[in-house]
Amino acid sequence: MGSAVEAVFRELDEHIASTTRITGMKCSNLCNACCRTTTIEASPIEFIPLAVWLYENKMVDEFLIRLDKSDQTGHCPLFSPEAWKEGKGGCLNYPNRGLVCRLFGFGYRLDRIGLTELVTCKEMKEKIPAAVNKANLLGREKPDTVPIFTNYAMQLYSIDPDLAIQHLPIGKAMRMAIEKLYFNYTSKSNTLSEQNTL
Ligand code: SF4
Ligand code: SF4
């Protein structure tokens, strides 16, 4: 499942890159305003690649401590103000961030009458209004060329409907992804240790 989700993310990253080359949309240097909010929601399937990474790097226990802390604050468990201050950006595992993290600022939704509408942030609206206008125009004139939230959400839904349909606070979505893979990894390590004792 992890590789199927990663394939969707690769396609999305290329899609966003191709539209931003046209529009000039980009995040302000070291901005992390969207990561600092306490209201981010995501579906567990978005964090299956993160969960795979954590198991494979034996980092699950350490991450669960971060998750417990974030349950109290509401912040994303991967957001690190320290990393941000050191000029490394704020996300501790940027390659394994979720769908919402990739699309926010750059994605489009369909409005009530089916028109494609850009969903972007205050920062970009204030700092690069010309690019935002261009991105809005591109969505209206060539809706088939822009990344639309529901299209990518549907791709994830086709991989695992149960994990894709739920919208949870981001920390809870990450926790559920970790729990989903628990038996895959514990049974794998049991098999390995059984093999080692033969
Ligand atoms: S999407 Fe907007 S708020 Fe988020 S990092 Fe980029 S510029 Fe900042
Ligand atoms: S996973 Fe990373 S990019 Fe996404 S909200 Fe958390 S810190 Fe930000």
- Using a 10 angstrom Cβ sphere, with 0-12 exposed, 13-18 middle and 19 or more buried, the burial of residue 87 is exposed
The CA distance from 2 to 49, in Å, is: 5
What's the 39 CA to ligand 1 centre distance in angstroms?
15
Nearest ligand to residue 47 Cα: 2
Q: What is the pLDDT of residue 188?
A: 59
What total of structural domains would you count in the chain?
Answer: 1
The CA distance from 123 to 55, in Å, is: 35
pLDDT tens figures, 56-79: 999 999 999 999 998 888 899 999
pLDDT tens figures, 24-49: 999 988 788 999 999 999 999 999 99
- Mean of per-residue pLDDT scores for the chain: 91
Structural domain of 107: 2-197
* Ligand 2 pocket mutation pick from 76, 82, 88 by most atoms within 8 angstroms of CB: 76
The CA distance from 47 to 41, in Å, is: 12
